[in-house]
Amino acid sequence: MADHNALPLVILAEKFASLPGIGMKSAQRLAYHVMSMNDEEVSEFAQALLDAKRNVRSCKCCQNLTEREICPICSDDERDHSVICVVEGPKDVTAFERTREYNGVYHVLHGLLSPMDGITPDKLRFRELLARISQGGVEEVIMATNPTVEGDATAMYAANLLKPLGVKVTRLAFGLPVGGILEYADEVTLYKALENRNEL
């Protein structure tokens, strides 16, 4: 925003622009929108930012974000604590929960291995995963990281780390997305779908 704009608006727009996926033009529009909100709505927004940062922490067990010491999933006795689904971030937990089919527990790594970007195993929550497994009772670890270079590397690292402990380590199946059209599938997906074909 040019210098004829009020400074607090310029600062607010810069804050919005620092968020992922919001460019300077959208940020400016959002700043103007805030001006059209009433005082109460703006204070509630500011409070929501502070509350989220202050009151949300990592679950001591699965490392997912929660308000409690132990998150509702980890403290749920009806879930199968012998199966741990390892994911990159909290949004992946939401994705699995949405399927309503998974009844095990999770472990959130808060990232994927990427040595080029300085993300080495000690930057992720592998230590906490090892601690959980060494307490016993875990039979299977499902590596549910994305099918990308980083996701694959993270899954391979976890497999090498955990197999010596006598835990079964599995990986999500790759194949055609349900409802997808074969013609539009990329080569690697199609190859994976062929390789992992099932007998009817």
Closest CB to a copy of itself among residues 83, 169: 83
Give percent helix, percent strand, percent coil of the chain, each to the nearest 5.
Answer: 50, 15, 40
Q: Which residue has the tokens 């349900």?
A: 178
Closest CB to a copy of itself among residues 52, 149: 52
100 three-class SS: coil
83 three-class SS: strand
Of the candidates 53, 17, 18, 10, which has an alpha carbon nearest to the alpha carbon of residue 35?
Answer: 10
Closest CB to a copy of itself among residues 56, 188: 56
Strands (E), 127-197: 140-143, 168-171
Residue 39-58 contact track with a copy of itself, rule CB under 8 A, x = bound: x-xxxxxxxxxxxxxxxx--
d(CA 16, CA 24): 8
d(CA 77, CA 99): 20
Nearest distance from C-beta of residue 28 to a copy of itself, angstroms? 7
Q: Which of residues 1-40 bind a copy of itself (CB under 8 A)?
A: 1-9, 11-12, 14-15, 18-21, 26, 28-35, 37, 39
Nearest distance from C-beta of residue 59 to a copy of itself, angstroms? 9
Nearest distance from C-beta of residue 44 to a copy of itself, angstroms? 7
The footprint of a copy of itself (CB under 8 A) covers 1-9, 11-12, 14-15, 18-21, 26, 28-35, 37, 39, 41-56, 64-67, 71-73, 89-91, 93-94, 97-98
